[in-house]
Each structure stands twice: as structure tokens, then as C-alpha cells.
Structure 1
Amino acid sequence: MNLLKLFSESYPNRVFISVLLGAISGILYSGLIPFVLMSIESPTPGLQLAEVPHARYGLLEVANYKLAALFFLACTFILIMRSLSEILLQRVATDVARKLRVSFYDKISRTPLYAIEKMGSSKLVASVNLDVPRIVNGARALPLLLINLVTLVGMLGFLVYLNGEVFKMVMIAIAFGILAYQVPMYFGNKLLTRSREYRDAIQEGVNGLLSGAKELKLDAQKRAYFHQDALLSNEKNILKNEKAAQSVLISTINFGDLICFFVIGALCFIFVNYHSISNSELVAVIMALLYVTGPIAVLLNALPQMMMATISYKKFNTLLNELPEEEIDYQISEVPSWQTLRFDNVEFAYPSDQDEAGFAVGPIDLTLKRGEIVFIVGSNGSGKSTLSKLLTLHYQAVGGHIYFDDAALNNANIESYRQGISAIYSNYYLFAKILKDLDDATMELIQHYLKLLHLDHKVTIEDGYFSTVSLSDGQRKRLALLVAFLEDKQVYLFDEWAADQDPIFKEVFYKRILPSLKAKQKLVIAITHDDKYFDLADRVIVMEGGKVVEQTSYTQYFDKLQLNQSAKNDFLAEVGA
């Protein structure tokens, strides 16, 4: 009962009151049968009435009016208490669901970037969209489960009062029924768990279908293989497991619904041949057994829902526990003004994957200054992106030290220093809303930048939202640049920003935007392959094999490029290429 534990730990008082009201309503509910039996011929001497008084209320004549008043009063109390119990626990369920989602948001916010990148978004999105609703649905079954469980216990107590031998037979039948019920339910649970795993794979496949749409459209064979391997095979497995699980669950639930009638049949056709029981007792027992069919049906029908909720709750917790947490102080404090960002023997290594060591960068010694433009170049896999994420403090160094002037970066101040950095990565995300307060001065600045970036005819600002973000890649990056301008940070990092721009905006970016940021004493870092504009950089940092192989001025780097090109041409001429 992990869900009840979750509720109790989250809102103990409300859960206690809800359970108490549910228990009282269940006890009263189980007491309705004795009231009914007392209104007719009583099956036991203890319930025998000497006379049946009548009373007239207008046109209605009520027999045994005192007992009738108690009966209807009990029904009213059951209605009120049962409703309050369910409403209270439903509200707790809603609050717990919100608490789960908020814990998910907080956990993601505190998870190191490399861990999120490694896990991927598919599992995370599937968990919050699939597991949390299932947990809530399971929670909604809890009130009925508790109320009907108490009702069942009350009715079994009434059976003890009526006939001890009948009670023993009923308990043996229930024990057998539980065993016969739990065995197939165990296998159904296994099938549902397996189906949940395949749903993660489907989520990953859908992500590939959307993100890789361009590639799939260009290769029918690749598309067919992807559909079969990533989508259809997983759909087939889900279908197979869920059909089998539902078949088992439905058959088992129907068996559970008929347990009471099997017991009634055994009582009427077998039990009476071996034990003496009066007709009045037999009628009372049958009424009690018929009465508990409802609670038993509710309990059995709620179990699959509870099983799925338990599976999702375990999956949700397992996923969150797999995510490490940055052990840093998230309290923002003012940091001293600085001019120099320095790497002293800095190292970073991705966590190893089973027996394979993770990619490592460093040791790196590097000094960058505000008011300069730095280009980072290197081949694919050279460590450019990792270095850039160390520079923007997304990754925390595992060795060496980072200094802002003479202040060492540590867990107490890293979050504060992050606030002075803006970055537009190649896989950036453009938020539809400008996440800051917009006063008149800021709105004027936005209009200025929209015109400068030739977006004023495409985009307007409405209640802080962009009118559209459905733009070309180049236009989206210009819009991201506008947001970066509004942030007015000390460090700006651009990862191949100009790759999607036409020649005019490449010129604007390199010859106007970067120099203007430099003039404002910003530290400007650009990962780029546009060697046509390398003369604008104060320095060029060359990465190779996870290390900085050289830091040169543009002139030195350009001379080396020319020499390498000359050597390449000589070699090609020599081999006759």
C-alpha cells in the first residue's frame, strides 16, 4: 500500500480524518442489514420484536417508525460521512499529484546537465505524462477501497453473530478465493510491468519519428526499418502484453464477483446437509452474503487500478533516484565584479558507461578577459562543446580550479556566477514567453532589436509572449539572440550561431553584433568554423582530443592554416590527385 503511505506521510491529518469517516460510514453501512431484518420477522431471538408500532405522517403510514427513523438517519449519516471521506481523500490525491509533479520539476532543475543529456527527454516526459496520471487514478480508488473494506469486515462480524459455522465456511471460501485471485493477478501485474517498459521505448521511438523526420523522408528503407524496429515491434509487444494482462484481469475480476454466489450455492446445497440451520437464519445469511457482493466487487475492481498505480509509483521513484543532484547552494548572492575568467588545470570526465571509460577533457589552462572576442575551433569530438559547457558553468570540473579574478568557483557561489552568463547552443530551446518583466523601456528595446534583426514583420509581443515561434531556423536563432540581448549578461557564448544565417546576417553577426558586445566589455566566446571572419577574433583556441592544443592570435592561426593548405596541395600534386 505504497500510495496510502505516500498520502499519510504527505497529509497525515487529512488522511486520518478521511479514513475515520470512511470507517464510520462502512460500519453504519454494514449495520443496515440488521435494521432491515429487524423490520420484518427476525431470524434470531435477540432481534425478536414484541409488537410493530405504526405512525401516520400525512398520507404515509410508517411501520415501526422508531426503527425507520434510525434506518433513514443511518442512511443520511452514511451519505454525509462517505461523501466527506471520498472528497477529502480525492483532494489529498490532487495535492499529492501536484506534489509529485513539483518534485519532478525541482529534481530536473537540480540535476546536472550531463545526466539529463545522458538519460534523454523521452523517459522523463513519459514518466510525468503517463506515471503521474496513473498514480492519481490509483489514488482515486483509495476512498472506495477503504470504505468497502470496513463494510466487508462489518458484515463478516454480523455473520459471526448469526452463525459461527457459516462464518467459518465463508472465511474458508474467501481464503480460497483470495488465493485463486492473487495467482493470476500476480502474472497480470508482471505483464503490465513489461508493457510499461515497452511504453518507454515507444516514447523514444516517437521522439525519433519527430526529430528525425527529415532524414526518414529521404530514405524509404531506413524509414521502414525504423518504423518496424522502433515503433511497430514495440506496439506489437505492448498489444500482446496488455491483451494478455487484460484477459487475465477481467477473468479474475469476474471470478471475484461470483465468489459470494459460489458461497451461497455451497451454503444452500451442501452446508445445510451437514449443519442444522433454521430458515430464518438461512435467509439472514443469504441477505448478508448478497450484501457483501458489492463491497467485494469494488475491492476486486479497484485492485488492477491500484496495481498500475503502484507500478507507476515505483517507476517514477526509480527514475528520480537515477538522477543525481548538484550539491550546490541555489541561493543567489551578489558576486564581486570581475575582469578575468581563468582555468587552472581544469578537467572534466563524463561518467563511465559500464566497462567503457567516459570521454574526458583537460587538463586545461586558459585565461579569458572581458572585452575580448574568442573563437573556439576544432574537429568533431575534439571537446569544443564540453569546453563551452565548462565555460558557461553547466558542467562542474572534476579536477583543477576555475577563478573569476582571484575568487575561486565553488559549490557555494557557482549558481551566483551562472547568472552572469548567456549562451545560445546549437540545440537551444526558444521559450514562447519572454521570461522577465516588460516595462516600457524594455518594450522599446525589443522593438529596436526586432527591426535590427529583420523580425518586426514576422513577430510581435503579446502579453509577454512572442506572437509566433514557428519560424525558420535562422529566424529562431535571431529571436534567441534578441532574448540574450535583453538579459545583458557579462559572458556571451554562441555555438555555431551563424551556421543557419544567410550571408547578410553572417556579416551583421560577426562585424556588428560581436564587436558591439565587445565594446560593452562583454566576454564573447564563439564556437565557429567561419574562418572568413577569424580576423575579428582577439584569440583562437584550438581543441583536439579533449585538450587545448594552442591559443593563438588570428594572424598566427591564419598563417598555420595557409601552411597546412600548402602542404596539402603539395601532397595532392605529388600523388597525382
Structure 2
Amino acid sequence: MKMWLFLKQQLGARIYLVALLSLMTGVCNTLMIKTINDVIHGGVNGGRMAVFAAAIVGYLAASRFFSAALLRATQRAVFTMRAEILGGVLACDQQRFEQVPNQAIYTAITEDTTQLARSPDIISSMLIAGFTILVCFAYLCWLSPVAFVLILLCILVGAGLYSSVAGRAARDWFAARQTQDEFFRLVDHQLRGFKELKMSDEKRREFFENHLMERCRAGYEQNVRGGEQYIQAVLVSGMLIYGVLGAFAFTGQTWLGLSAEPFASTILVMLYLTPAIQQTVDLLPTLDRFGIAIDKMEKLQRDLADKQTPGSTSVALAEGNAPKFTNWHCLRLARVTFAYPPVDGAEPFHIGPLDLEVRRGEVLFIVGGNGSGKTTLLKLLLGLYKPDSGRFTVDGQAWEAGGADQRHLFSPLFADFHLFDRIYGRQPSPEDLANHLSAMALDHKVNLADGAWSTLDLSQGQRKRLGLVQALVDPAPVLVMDEFAADQDPAFRRRFYRELIPMFRAAGKTIIAITHDESYFDCADRIIHMVEGRPEEHQPQAAEALLT
């Protein structure tokens, strides 16, 4: 049923054409059997040869058209679901995105969509077998109503037994799908934490044996348990079908009093029906897996839709939708507060009330101890987090917190930045790019070739400098950096503070930087000291004691 609803959604009214063509394959299949039966009892003639040839052509044509329709529908669904899931991720606000496990997204766009992409052959086989059974039943009822009733009762009993077992198996497979998400989460930990695990035999053994392999083993057991229950259901169904066939073969003529010709015809049809019924039963588990994959993808789509930022249904801005605030002078946060959701009943970390100004063209340093709220302040300022209360204004004009107008003002380089393989969006001129690479001492290390960086095989400090190049080519007026200098050698750190920051400001950038380098506090116009989520403003001359 889940697969039917899914196909109906994808095909629309064409689902009925697919059903009609599937019915045609069943009719052609049965017509071939009837023609063979007629030849056995009445001999060969031109008419029967023509009917048989027409049945073959009709079967092939109908199968070709509806199989192609299913292929296009499922591949379009795979494309659409991947686009909607990944587009939905980009439309999320930052805080909500952090609540969506990465492994759920990876599994949905790889495992689940791949499962769906393999479905056309299975569905085609199911439809052909199903409609062949339906039409053969009609022919069987005409040949021998008693045989029809017997095999129908057999199918109903088998379906009842199958359903009782299949429900338990489906639950095991759904649990296995959940376990797979947890397993991929642990695989991600293994790959990202390779160095840490390598350093400790005890930690590595605990992680591998008690966690990673435990989830792998649980998924294995759930899949096997579900598969074994389906095997039982298939065997019981097959036993009933072949049992009825055998009983009819041994007692049909004596018990039912059938003459040789109708008896042989009935046996022929039942022999043809049996593999079709068995094939249908064999494919039902695969359809259940398709249903589970569809359920998981649809749930992820709903979760992402619930987490989208209002007004961000489009991944990219429409052409010509220029930033609203261009000639600004002062950004202000007024009585802004924010609190993280409580975890396990613990008191949540909160920040604010924040009263803060950012003036165009200034250099503003944000300092403070770990956990003081520096990064949270940046995420609020950038529009990645939406405040619980308070106002954001530009030159006295309110902006929508978390909206595109707010985000367009800033070009950030985060502490946990991601270095993309190319510059996306607006492309810099070759001259500007060369100047930025030279300023970062990367001009002999990397260049832009065919739109992509020639290499990303760089040290962490060099990667961060290349990330800063990507931030600098963004036309946003405010450059935001979180602990940029932490990974730089002393010589480049000094150059960054003494030469590059003044150069960025001279180029029209406003600078906001989180830093712990008290030796360079004099490079800032103002310093904001975060203490337990509250900002305190200091002048650079009096700021050296802040971190002591």
C-alpha cells in the first residue's frame, strides 16, 4: 500500500495507465497459456499461431511502456527527494540544523534513495505477476470453479499466515534501519577520531568492541531475525500452494469427476499460476523494505521542513535580490537574550542581555574564557541563531533576526570552518585573488585551476589562511574571524595582526575577531570581554589583564 501511494504521488493520473498496461501483460500471459492449451487439445492452425504471436508482442510492448514509466517515476523521485532533503538542510536555521544527526542525512540520500532507485525492476515483476494471477484466476474459474475456490482459499489462508509473520519481520527491519543510523554515527566518530583512538589501546578496544561492533552486530541480528521470519512465511505459503496443486493432481479426476481434457487444462493453468504466486510472495519483503526507506525519507523531510527558517524556502536568492543594507554606519544589538534548550533537566546556558554596537570600519576584538559565550554571540550577530528576545537594528532600522538581510552583512571564518574545493558564488577577479593568495603566503602553494583549488593538501594553518581567502573574496562588508591566529606560526601571527588587519580595514572591511592573543589587543579599536554570557566593553590599553 505504501508503494502504491508513493507511485500514485509520483505518476499522478498516469498510474492508471500503468495499471492498465500491467493488466494487459496479465491478459497476454494468460492468452499464451490458453493458446498452448488449445494447441495441445486441438492441434496447430494459423489462427492459433497468430493469437500466440499477438500475445507475445502485446506482452512485450505493454511491459516496455509501463516499465519505462516506472523507471522514470522512481528516478525522478530519487532526484526530487535528494534535492528536497539537501535543499531542506540549507533552508534550516543553524540551531535547528545542529539537532539533525548527520548520519540520518547521509543514510537517507545514499542507502534509502539507492533502495528506491532499484525498485522499478521489482515493481514491474510484481505488477506482471499480480495481474497474471488475476487473469489466470478468471480463466481457472471458467475451467474449474472447484479448483478456483480451492486455490483461492489456499491463498487467503497463506496471506493470513504471511501477514501475522510479516508484521514482526517488518518491525525487525525497521529497527535494523534505526540501528544503521547509529552505526554510521559511530563510523563517523572512528574516522574523525582516528588519532585519538590510535593513541590508546584501551580506548580503541572499548570503542570498537563495545560500541561500534555492538551496533554492527545488533543490525546483523535484526536483519537475520526479520529475514528468517519472512523465510518461514514464504515456506508456509509455498507449502500450501504446492499442497493444493498436488491434492488436485491426485484426486481431481476421481473426486471431482473431471474428464481428461478439462483436468489437464486446469493442471496446466495451476502450474503456470504457482510460480507467479511464489514470485509475488518472494518479492513482498523487498516491497516492505522500500516502504521503510520511503517512511524514513519522508520523516526526514518533515523534520527539515519543521526546522526551516521562515522565508528561506529557496536555496539561493533570486537574481537581482540585492542586500538591503549597503551604506550602513552602525549595527546594534539591544537587550538581546538567548538560551540553549535544557539537556537532561540541567540549567541551560544562556547569554545576555546583550547591548552591543558594531561601527563601520572599526576593528572589534571579542575575548573571554572558554564557555563565556563568545561563539554564541557571533552566531547571534551573524543570524545563525535567533534570539529569544531583544532587537537588531541597522542605523536605527530594525532587521528580521536570522533573515537574509542580516546574513549578507557578514563574511565569516569559523573556528571549525569547512574548506570548500572551490569558490562558490561571486567569483573574484584574477588580480584580487592573486593579491589575497600572496597576502596569505599561499601564492606558491595553491591556485585556482578550472574553477577549483589546485590542492587542499595543506597544513592546518595554511588551510585556515585559504579559508580566509574565501572569506575575503565575499563582498560582505563585515569580516568575522573566530580564533584565526590560533593555528598560525608566530611570524605569520604577528603579520596578521600588524599588517593584514590594517590592510583589510583599508580595503573597506569592518573586522570582528574572537582572539586570545592579549599581546595584540592594541590592534583593536575596542574590546568586548564576555563574562558568563554578558559583554563588558574595554579600551585596548586597559585590556591586557582581562585574560589573566
TM-score (norm 2): 0.93
CA contact (8 A) 2:336 2:352 kept: yes
- The verdict on how the C-alpha distance between 1:473 and 1:531 changes in structure 2, with shifts beyond 3 A counting, is same
Match of 1:429 in 2: 418
Q: Which residue identity lines up with residue 523 of structure 1 in the other structure?
A: T
* Runs of 5+ unmatched residues, structure 1: 43-51, 53-62, 566-577
Match of 2:404 in 1: 415
- The verdict on how the C-alpha distance between 1:250 and 1:283 changes in structure 2, with shifts beyond 3 A counting, is same
Match of 1:387 in 2: 377
Match of 2:256 in 1: 275
Match of 1:160 in 2: 141
**Per-residue deviation at 1:140?**
4.1
**Per-residue deviation at 1:426?**
1.1
RMSD of aligned Cα (Å) = 2.1
CA contact (8 A) 1:447 1:456 kept: yes
Match of 2:472 in 1: 485
Task: Provide the C-alpha distance between the structure 1 equivalents of 2:295 and 2:347, rounded to a whole number of angstroms.
Answer: 30
Correspondence for 1:239 among 220, 236, 240: 220
**In terms of mean alpha carbon deviation, does 147-156 or 241-250 score higher?**
241-250
CA contact (8 A) 2:483 2:515 kept: yes
1:366 aligns with 2:356: yes
Task: Provide the C-alpha distance between the structure 2 equivalents of 1:109 and 1:163, rounded to a whole number of angstroms.
Answer: 62
Length, aligned pairs only: 539
- The verdict on how the C-alpha distance between 1:493 and 1:196 changes in structure 2, with shifts beyond 3 A counting, is same
- The verdict on how the C-alpha distance between 1:353 and 1:24 changes in structure 2, with shifts beyond 3 A counting, is farther
**In terms of mean alpha carbon deviation, does 184-193 or 363-372 score higher?**
184-193
1:39 aligns with 2:29: no
**Per-residue deviation at 1:255?**
4.5
Correspondence for 1:322 among 280, 284, 303: 303
Matched residue of 2:72: which SS?
helix
Matched residue of 1:157: which SS?
helix
**Per-residue deviation at 1:357?**
5.2
**Structure 1 consecutive aligned stretches of length 4 or more whose deviation exceeds 6 Å:** none
CA contact (8 A) 2:140 2:269 kept: yes
Matched residue of 1:542: which SS?
strand
Correspondence for 1:64 among 45, 54, 57: 45
- The verdict on how the C-alpha distance between 1:373 and 1:5 changes in structure 2, with shifts beyond 3 A counting, is same
Q: Which residue identity lines up with residue 403 of structure 2 in the other structure?
A: I
Matched residue of 1:31: which SS?
helix
1:108 aligns with 2:82: no
Matched residue of 2:543: which SS?
helix
**Per-residue deviation at 1:147?**
2.2
Match of 2:111 in 1: 130
Report Cα offsets for 1:55-106 as digits up to 9, x if no partner.
Answer: xxxxxxxx31012111101111111111111111111110011011011011
**Per-residue deviation at 1:250?**
3.6
CA contact (8 A) 2:526 2:537 kept: yes
CA contact (8 A) 2:399 2:405 kept: no
**1:80-479 to 2 correspondence within 5 Å?**
80-270=61-251, 272=253, 274-323=255-304, 324-328=307-311, 331=317, 332-336=321-325, 337-353=327-343, 355-356=345-346, 358-410=348-400, 414-436=403-425, 438=427, 442-479=429-466
**Per-residue deviation at 1:356?**
4.3
Match of 1:20 in 2: 20
CA contact (8 A) 1:15 1:89 kept: no
Task: Provide the C-alpha distance between the structure 1 equivalents of 2:348 and 2:96, rounded to a whole number of angstroms.
Answer: 13
**Per-residue deviation at 1:469?**
1.1
Q: Which residue identity lines up with residue 202 of structure 1 in the other structure?
A: F
**Per-residue deviation at 1:245?**
2.4
1:11 aligns with 2:1: no
User: Max radius of gyration: which structure?
Assistant: 1
**In terms of mean alpha carbon deviation, does 180-189 or 277-286 score higher?**
180-189
Match of 1:47 in 2: none
**Per-residue deviation at 1:448?**
2.5
Q: Which residue identity lines up with residue 7 of structure 2 in the other structure?
A: F
- The verdict on how the C-alpha distance between 1:27 and 1:356 changes in structure 2, with shifts beyond 3 A counting, is farther
Task: Provide the C-alpha distance between the structure 2 equivalents of 1:39 and 1:318, rounded to a whole number of angstroms.
Answer: 55
CA contact (8 A) 1:253 1:300 kept: yes
Q: Which residue identity lines up with residue 364 of structure 1 in the other structure?
A: L
**Per-residue deviation at 1:514?**
1.5
Q: Which residue identity lines up with residue 514 of structure 2 in the other structure?
A: I
* Runs of 5+ unmatched residues, structure 2: none
1:551 aligns with 2:548: no
**Per-residue deviation at 1:309?**
1.3
CA contact (8 A) 1:348 1:361 kept: yes
TM-score (norm 1): 0.89
Task: Provide the C-alpha distance between the structure 2 equivalents of 1:486 and 1:231, rounded to a whole number of angstroms.
Answer: 42
Match of 1:513 in 2: 500
Matched residue of 2:341: which SS?
coil
